[in-house]
């Protein structure tokens, strides 16, 4: 089974970028071979912008190394020049995903995660100075939501009768709902401008616009 290295995408003054060292490590290719490929194909890479090189210190010490800093099109081009081993293909997918995720985070004005790994189902977020306030759950009575929608339909019908069918309702339930509408003792119909009747195991409702019934 191939272990995919998650690529680190950098936000530079010229846009999002990834280093040749990251690509070499993720693809299982020696870094010197990746640099040689970039040097030999410089003309192709520079069709997508200047090829930037930097000298960077190694994390574990040792001599500084020369590395290329590639934008997204350049990194995609580099991957097309590589032989499609299982590891290279897996890293191509990870690289495309990493660029997309970073672009979305910057677009939204946030960088929500320091580390993500879909295989582990793990996301580690940015540090925060204070704990967020606990959310208070708001309970919504589905009957109120239903009645609000019935009232809206009646208002939009411009004085016409609107037939309403409610699942699992019988004559008794329709009669009780009609009374609640006519007396205005249901919150959704409290303004008293609704009239309801029952016909053939169905409710008919109308919003009063001053027209005769």
* Segments of the chain with pLDDT less than 50: 1, 118, 135-138, 140, 211-213
Q: Residue 147's pLDDT is what?
A: 87
Q: Residue 137's pLDDT is what?
A: 44
pTM score over 0.85 = no
Do residues 73 and 50 make contact, with C-beta atoms less than 8 angstroms apart?
Answer: no
Q: Residue 62's pLDDT is what?
A: 72
Q: Residue 101's pLDDT is what?
A: 84
Q: Residue 119's pLDDT is what?
A: 52
pLDDT tens, position by position, 86-105: 999 999 999 999 898 888 77
CA dihedral (99, 104, 107, 110) in degrees, to 10, reads -100
Q: Residue 75's pLDDT is what?
A: 95
Q: Residue 13's pLDDT is what?
A: 78
CA nearest 19: which of 82, 65, 62?
65
Length, in residues, of the chain: 213
């Amino acid at each position: 089974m191939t272990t995919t290295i998650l690529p680190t995408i950098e936000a530079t003054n010229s846009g999002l970028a990834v280093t040749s060292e990251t690509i070499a490590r993720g693809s299982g290719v020696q870094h010197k071979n990746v640099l040689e490929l970039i040097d030999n194909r410089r003309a192709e890479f520079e069709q997508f912008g200047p090829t930037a090189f930097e000298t960077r210190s190694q994390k574990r010490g040792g001599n500084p190394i020369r590395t290329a800093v590639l934008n997204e099109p350049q990194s995609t081009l580099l991957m097309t020049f590589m032989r499609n081993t299982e590891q290279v293909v897996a890293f191509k997918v990870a690289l495309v995903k990493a660029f997309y995720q970073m672009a979305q985070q910057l677009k939204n004005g946030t960088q929500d995660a320091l580390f993500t790994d879909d295989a582990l189902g793990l996301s580690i977020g940015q540090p925060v100075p204070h704990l967020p306030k606990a959310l208070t759950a708001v309970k919504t009575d589905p009957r109120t939501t239903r009645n609000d929608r019935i009232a809206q339909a009646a208002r939009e019908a411009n004085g016409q009768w609107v037939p309403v069918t409610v699942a699992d309702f019988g004559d008794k339930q329709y009669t009780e709902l009609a009374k609640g509408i006519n007396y205005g003792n249901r919150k959704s119909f409290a303004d008293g401008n609704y009239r309801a009747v029952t016909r053939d195991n169905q409710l008919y409702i109308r919003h009063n616009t001053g027209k005769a019934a």
